[in-house]
Amino acid sequence: MKHITFLFGFIFWLALTACTPPQLPERHFRGGWLTKNDKGLILSQVTKQTLQTMKSLGIKWIALGPDVHMENIHKPALSYGLDDNAYKEFITYATQQGFQITLLPRIESPDFFKPPYPFRADIEMDNEEDWKTFHDNYKQMIGHYARLSQETGVGMLILGLEYQQSVSQFPESWRAIIKHARSLYKGKLTYSANWYEEFQQVTFWDELDYIGIGAYFELSDGPNTSMLSIMDNWLPIVKTLQKTSEAYNKPVIFTEVGYTTFEDAAQYPWKWQDDLQRPISQEQQADCYRALFRVFANEPWFDGFFIWRFYTDPSILPAYSYSPANKPAGDVIQRWFMMP
């Protein structure tokens, strides 16, 4: 009987949210990632037009990711800061246009583009001494960007993303990084954890302002999934996110959330450049966003989204890209983000 009651309750909730979509609360981040091209973050006329496109969709926060170079993901050396002036110029201009800024210094490495194609969760040192050096270097790097953020009026600083080996093994090093950032920067702080399991492994959410998640959750068993089915598949994930929020008494934000324009966008939101011959479906991308906003609009423990992603030069984009601009997905985002 309890199971039947729950089932009818869920069906009622699903029908209600599908027929009468709620509004996003004012507190929600309405953000979008802006990715630079190969020439760097250049404040060109094309880039300025992209900002106007983002503004027309209701985006109020621009997320930027200055590169932190790591030549070898098993060696602790980091280099950064060569493009500081470009970021300062961009932040000044974007702020004048009415945007708020989020900054995430993100490690990039040539190793990411070589077999077996590791990613940031695979960054791992060979010994304790190198781990200590890595965390010391990382704290200095965060200090650099904390100062830049304070100087330029950045609204939120994201301290890292998907560094699962480091985060799970050395939480006290991350508490020291957070403390250092707090001493230099007065804005909001978070960390961007991987959707798969890392967000449940992080133990220092209590030190941050938000529980940040790169939300590439798999929401389907196949291509071309209906909006209602996607909403249904969000339900167990929502329960887990709510428990995490309640455990730390912190709101959840999606520091990244996005969908490709492939017809399997709901099934594999993280799948980008594998098998580029997969069929295209702009409507599937749009349905993913419709489901996303309907599911999270009324959750009191949830505080918003950063859409992945827009590009400084959209003319170079393939049809299957994550960008929602000039697609039905863009219309969906505009309908939700432009609400009063």
CATH of the domain at 77: 3.20.20.80
% of the chain surpassing 70 pLDDT: 93
Q: Do the domain assignments include residue 21?
A: no
Residue 6 lies in a domain: no
Segment 1-25, tens digit of pLDDT: 544 444 444 554 455 455 556 789 9
How much is the pLDDT for 12?
46
Angle at the Cα of 20 (from 297 to 55), degrees rounded to 5?
Answer: 50
**How much is the pLDDT for 339?**
80
In a domain, 14, yes or no: no
CA angle at residue 16 from 10 to 19, to 5 degrees?
A: 135
Q: What pLDDT, on a 0 to 100 scale, did the predictor assign at position 40? A: 81
Asked if the structure places residue 215 within a domain, the reply is yes
pLDDT digits (tens, 9 = 90+) for 299-332: 999 999 999 999 999 988 899 999 999 999 999 9
pLDDT computed for residue 166 by the predictor: 98
> Exposure pattern of 278-312 as b/e (b: 16+ CB <10 Å)?
beebbbbbbbbbbbbbbbbbeeebbbbbbbbbbbb
> Number of folded domains in the chain?
1
Q: Kindly write down the DSSP assignment for every residue of 158-191, as one continuous string.
A: EEEE--HHHHHH-HHHHHHHHHHHHHH--SEEEE
pLDDT of residue 17: 52
Q: Which residues contact 149 (CB under 8 A, 6 or more apart)?
A: 103, 157, 185, 187
Q: Residue 8: what pLDDT?
A: 46
Per-residue confidence (pLDDT) for residue 39, from 0 to 100: 72
pLDDT > 60? residue 103: yes
Residues 56-65, mean pLDDT to the nearest whole number: 98
**Mean of the pLDDT values across residues 25-41?**
91
Judge whether residue 91 has pLDDT over 60.
Answer: yes
Residue 213 lies in domain: 30-337
Query: Can you give the pLDDT at residue 238?
Result: 99
Taking only the tens place, the pLDDT of each residue in 115-128 is 999 999 999 999 99
- Compute the average pLDDT of residues 98-105: 99
Q: Which residues, other chains included, contact 32 with Cβ-Cβ below 8 Å and sequence gap of 6+?
A: 54, 57, 59, 61, 62, 63, 306, 307, 309, 310
Q: What is the mean pLDDT of residues 79-96?
A: 97
Report if residue 266 sits inside a domain: yes
Q: Which pLDDT does position 9 carry in this prediction?
A: 46
How much is the pLDDT for 336? Answer: 97
Question: Is 190's pLDDT higher than 80?
Answer: yes
Q: What whole-number percentage of the chain has pLDDT above 90?
A: 86
For 132-151, write each residue's pLDDT tens digit. 999 999 999 999 999 999 99
The reported pLDDT for the residue numbered 263 is 97
Question: In this predicted model, what pLDDT tens digit does every residue of 218-239 receive, in sequence order?
Answer: 999 999 999 999 999 999 999 9
What mean pLDDT do residues 175-198 have? 98
pLDDT of residue 20: 58
pLDDT higher at 245 or 339: 245
Q: What is the mean pLDDT of the chain?
A: 94
Q: What does the pLDDT look like over 250-278, one tens digit per residue?
A: 999 999 999 999 999 999 999 977 777 89
Any domain includes 7: no
Q: Averaged over 162-178, what is the pLDDT?
A: 98
The answer to whether residue 11 sits within a structural domain is no
Q: Is 202 part of a structural domain of the chain?
A: yes
